[in-house]
Amino acid sequence: MPPPNEGHNEPLSYEEVCAIKDDLQSKLNGKTPEIGIVLGSGLGGLGEHIEDAVFVDYKDVKHFPLSTVIGHKGRFICGTFAGREVLCMQGRFHCYEGHPIHLTVLPIRVMSLLGINSLILTNAAGGLNESFHVGDLMIIKDHINLAGMVGCMNPLIGPNEPRYGGERFIPTSQSYDKEYGQMFKSAANELGLSDAIKEGVYVFLSGPCFETIAEVRMLKTMGADAVGMSTIPEVLVAVHCGMRVLGVSLITNEAVSSYESTAVANHEEVLQTGRKRAEDMVKLVKEFLTQLK
């Protein structure tokens, strides 16, 4: 089996990331995307709605890791969606696949170098908040970077590279763009989907195990509303690059917190819920982009 990251265990230099950007750009047929979209587990269907599309497999981009997760196609789609030029990722990279954290965020750095300033991140997450239902969409208003806080899994560890835009110590208290959150809510109102919209705190764990009951109880006590294995490293790099971020979690399953429960989390349920909500996500992102100036 090939290593998922071509053996790039050391962080890439700024010049190397620029070369990767040039390589991807040369494959985009002259398109100049202005908005980045990352599609999480089961949500890749939005990519099929992009018009005038150019497809670039991750395996064809210099130094790019391979996406190994079932339900992640592993390619960029660049084209027009809601009248905007977008660069969409059908599938992302996770630490649990064995990728070093700096490679999981490489696409965000590349997007920033391509001139993308607005980023929409979606993911599948387990619901911790008892008022949430499977199929709800949680606008991420804040996060707890648990894996990053206690496990050195923070993509900004290492020498700071100011050419990306950010300083050594960046504030993260305004990571999620409030206006974008409001616009996503109003898109849901327009579409009659407001009952499914929630807002909350996402907690990032390394995975790949789903949580134990004791862990779920701990996460609830911490104030987290949804739990997942992605997104936050991307958010941190996006903030470091000065991008505006919208994060949306699809609640694909209820995180089990009772010893009496016989339910167990599983990836098939995650994918199935994603497929059920996929069309609504397409409409919501389309309406959001229509509102985006």
Active site residues: 41, 72, 94, 96-97, 124, 229-230, 253, 267
Q: Please give the Cα distance from 73 to 263 (Å, whole number).
A: 28
How many residues bind ligand HPA (CB under 6 A)? The answer is 13
Separation of CA 282 from chain center: 15
Q: Is 252 in the site for ligand HPA (CB under 6 A)?
A: yes
Site stretch for ligand HPA (CB under 6 A), options 68-76, 99-107, 120-128, 154-162: 120-128
**Binding mask of the shown chain, residues 180 to 219, with x at each position contacting ligand HPA by CB under 6 A:** ------------------------------xx--------
Q: Of the two residues 93 and 210, which places its CB atom closer to ligand HPA in the complex?
A: 210
Q: Of the two residues 255 and 292, which places its CB atom closer to ligand HPA in the complex?
A: 255
Q: Of the two residues 124 and 289, which places its CB atom closer to ligand HPA in the complex?
A: 124
Residues recorded for the chain = 293
**Radius of gyration (C-alpha) of the chain in whole angstroms:** 18
Q: Please give the Cα distance from 108 to 90 (Å, whole number).
A: 13
Q: Of the two residues 120 and 227, which places its CB atom closer to ligand HPA in the complex?
A: 227
β pairing state of 137-144 and 244-254: antiparallel
Q: Please give the Cα distance from 210 to 255 (Å, whole number).
A: 8
Q: Is 144 in the site for ligand HPA (CB under 6 A)?
A: no
**Least distance between ligand HPA and beta carbon 208 (Å):** 9
Q: Is 255 in the site for ligand HPA (CB under 6 A)?
A: yes
Q: Residue 85 is inside which H or E element, if any?
A: strand 84-90
**Binding mask of the shown chain, residues 218 to 247, with x at each position contacting ligand HPA by CB under 6 A:** ---------xxx------------------
Contacts of 163 (CB under 8 A, 6+ apart): 14
Of 160, 181, 177, nearest to 237 by C-alpha is 160
- Quote the DSSP letter at residue 115: T
